[in-house]
Amino acid sequence: MFYEFISKFHLWSAIFALVFGLSVFLVRKGTRLHKQLGYAYFFNMLSLNISALFIYELTGNFGPFHISALASLLTLIAGFVPAYLRLPRNGWLDLHYEFMNWSYVGLVAAGVSEVATRIPSSPFWPAVVGGSIVVFFIGGVLINSLRPKAVTRARESLSQSTEEPMDFFAALKHRRSTCN
């Protein structure tokens, strides 16, 4: 019963993360809507990765998919924390852009791999590895080619913001007070 619940929870978290992640890419960066969709993406990815650590049906023990979930979790946090705290002052936007984009690419790669393994007579590991390689290649090309325009537009949106740069503890205190 627990496995059935956690599997469905994992699946729905993945579906919502795909939708919210795509939505984040389609809206203007730095806006309230971007932030709201970004939070939805973050919490769905957090749920997805944590639930993945409880699924052992495939191998029976801790395996490569659990390592991938931990890597995804680290990528997600590495993209969220700099934007949330606006630190480091001159580099947080670049960190946010890189890690959140790679977080989404990893999610899409996992989805493509999952679908590829469902193709009849498809060998499991070649489908997983092949699907992932293709998605990561295409994702890398897109991330690198879209970076200049995306980061410039985000900086323009942020230049209209009234938020002042602050140190780590002041930023954390400020974020806590504005989120309550």
Domain ranges within the chain, ordered by starting residue: 2-179
What is the C-alpha to C-alpha distance for residues 8 and 168, in angstroms, rounded to an integer? 38
Digit-coded pLDDT (tens) for 4-48 = 999 999 999 999 999 999 999 999 888 899 999 999 999 999 999
Digit-coded pLDDT (tens) for 59-101 = 789 989 999 999 999 999 999 999 999 999 889 999 999 999 9
